[in-house]
Amino acid sequence: MPSDDKTKHKKTRKSELDSALDQVGDESVAAATKEFQDLLAQAKGDTTELIRQNAEELEQRLLLLKEHKIDKEDFDYFVENQKRDLRVFIDSQPAQAQERAEKLTLQLLGMAATKIAPLLLAMI
Protein backbone atom coordinates (compact mmCIF):
# COMPACT_ATOMS: atom_id res chain seq x y z
CA MET A 1 0.00 0.00 0.00
CA PRO A 2 1.32 3.50 -0.74
CA SER A 3 2.06 5.82 2.17
CA ASP A 4 -0.55 8.27 0.80
CA ASP A 5 -3.19 6.39 2.81
CA LYS A 6 -2.16 8.45 5.85
CA THR A 7 -3.00 11.71 4.09
CA LYS A 8 -6.58 10.87 3.20
CA HIS A 9 -8.89 13.39 4.82
CA LYS A 10 -12.31 12.73 6.24
CA LYS A 11 -14.50 15.33 4.51
CA THR A 12 -17.98 14.11 5.28
CA ARG A 13 -19.26 17.53 6.33
CA LYS A 14 -17.93 21.06 6.58
CA SER A 15 -17.05 22.39 9.97
CA GLU A 16 -18.75 25.53 11.27
CA LEU A 17 -15.45 27.35 10.86
CA ASP A 18 -15.07 26.21 7.24
CA SER A 19 -18.60 27.39 6.47
CA ALA A 20 -17.88 30.83 7.93
CA LEU A 21 -14.58 31.18 6.08
CA ASP A 22 -16.11 30.06 2.78
CA GLN A 23 -18.24 33.23 2.84
CA VAL A 24 -15.23 35.45 2.21
CA GLY A 25 -15.64 37.32 -1.07
CA ASP A 26 -12.35 39.19 -1.54
CA GLU A 27 -10.01 37.07 -3.70
CA SER A 28 -6.77 37.76 -1.81
CA VAL A 29 -8.46 37.14 1.54
CA ALA A 30 -10.17 34.05 0.14
CA ALA A 31 -6.78 32.67 -0.95
CA ALA A 32 -5.39 33.16 2.57
CA THR A 33 -8.43 31.50 4.15
CA LYS A 34 -8.15 28.58 1.74
CA GLU A 35 -4.48 28.12 2.64
CA PHE A 36 -5.41 28.26 6.33
CA GLN A 37 -8.23 25.73 5.86
CA ASP A 38 -5.87 23.37 4.01
CA LEU A 39 -3.21 23.61 6.73
CA LEU A 40 -5.82 23.15 9.46
CA ALA A 41 -7.20 20.04 7.72
CA GLN A 42 -3.67 18.61 7.39
CA ALA A 43 -2.95 19.31 11.05
CA LYS A 44 -6.24 17.77 12.19
CA GLY A 45 -5.42 14.65 10.16
CA ASP A 46 -1.79 14.41 11.28
CA THR A 47 -0.56 11.26 12.98
CA THR A 48 1.09 13.25 15.80
CA GLU A 49 -1.34 13.69 18.65
CA LEU A 50 0.04 17.08 19.73
CA ILE A 51 -0.35 18.53 16.24
CA ARG A 52 -3.90 17.17 15.98
CA GLN A 53 -4.80 18.43 19.43
CA ASN A 54 -3.41 21.91 18.70
CA ALA A 55 -5.43 22.12 15.48
CA GLU A 56 -8.64 21.09 17.23
CA GLU A 57 -8.08 23.58 20.07
CA LEU A 58 -7.30 26.32 17.56
CA GLU A 59 -10.51 25.62 15.66
CA GLN A 60 -12.52 25.71 18.91
CA ARG A 61 -10.94 29.03 19.96
CA LEU A 62 -11.66 30.57 16.55
CA LEU A 63 -15.30 29.55 16.87
CA LEU A 64 -15.46 31.05 20.37
CA LEU A 65 -13.96 34.25 18.95
CA LYS A 66 -16.47 34.29 16.10
CA GLU A 67 -19.32 33.86 18.58
CA HIS A 68 -17.84 36.63 20.79
CA LYS A 69 -17.45 34.23 23.73
CA ILE A 70 -13.80 35.27 23.97
CA ASP A 71 -12.16 38.49 22.81
CA LYS A 72 -9.11 39.01 20.58
CA GLU A 73 -6.88 39.51 23.62
CA ASP A 74 -7.89 36.10 25.02
CA PHE A 75 -7.35 34.53 21.61
CA ASP A 76 -3.90 36.10 21.24
CA TYR A 77 -2.98 34.87 24.73
CA PHE A 78 -3.98 31.33 23.71
CA VAL A 79 -1.90 31.59 20.51
CA GLU A 80 1.20 32.81 22.34
CA ASN A 81 0.96 30.02 24.93
CA GLN A 82 0.52 27.41 22.21
CA LYS A 83 3.49 28.78 20.28
CA ARG A 84 5.71 28.66 23.36
CA ASP A 85 4.73 25.07 24.13
CA LEU A 86 5.00 23.95 20.52
CA ARG A 87 8.50 25.38 20.03
CA VAL A 88 9.69 22.86 22.62
CA PHE A 89 7.92 20.08 20.72
CA ILE A 90 9.34 21.17 17.36
CA ASP A 91 12.88 21.37 18.72
CA SER A 92 12.54 17.79 19.99
CA GLN A 93 11.64 16.46 16.53
CA PRO A 94 14.16 14.92 14.13
CA ALA A 95 15.58 17.53 11.74
CA GLN A 96 13.62 16.20 8.76
CA ALA A 97 10.30 16.48 10.65
CA GLN A 98 10.85 19.95 12.12
CA GLU A 99 9.80 21.92 9.03
CA ARG A 100 6.51 20.04 8.67
CA ALA A 101 5.78 20.30 12.40
CA GLU A 102 6.48 24.03 12.33
CA LYS A 103 4.20 24.52 9.32
CA LEU A 104 1.34 22.60 10.95
CA THR A 105 1.71 24.37 14.30
CA LEU A 106 3.50 27.72 14.45
CA GLN A 107 2.66 28.84 10.91
CA LEU A 108 -0.96 27.77 11.40
CA LEU A 109 -1.21 29.67 14.69
CA GLY A 110 0.37 32.74 13.10
CA MET A 111 -2.09 32.75 10.23
CA ALA A 112 -4.98 32.31 12.65
CA ALA A 113 -3.88 35.29 14.75
CA THR A 114 -2.98 37.69 11.94
CA LYS A 115 -5.44 36.82 9.18
CA ILE A 116 -8.29 34.59 10.31
CA ALA A 117 -9.17 36.08 13.71
CA PRO A 118 -9.50 39.66 12.39
CA LEU A 119 -11.58 38.32 9.51
CA LEU A 120 -13.95 36.48 11.85
CA LEU A 121 -14.29 39.55 14.05
CA ALA A 122 -15.22 41.62 11.00
CA MET A 123 -18.05 39.20 10.07
CA ILE A 124 -20.45 40.70 12.59
Domain residue ranges in the chain: 27-122
pTM: 0.77
What's the pLDDT at 39? 96
What's the pLDDT at 120? 87
pLDDT greater at residue 67 or residue 22: 67
Contact 119, 33 (CB under 8 A): yes
* Residue 6 scores a pLDDT above 50: no
What's the pLDDT at 16? 75
Q: Which residues of 92-123 are buried (b: 16+ CB within 10 A; e: fewer)?
A: eeeeeeeeebbebbbbbbebbbeebbebbeee
What's the pLDDT at 124? 60
What's the pLDDT at 5? 42
* Residue 110 scores a pLDDT above 70: yes
Q: What's the pLDDT tens digit per position in 30-81? A: 788 889 999 999 999 999 999 999 999 999 999 999 999 999 999 999 999 9
pLDDT-based confidence at residue 14 (cuts at 50, 70, 90): low
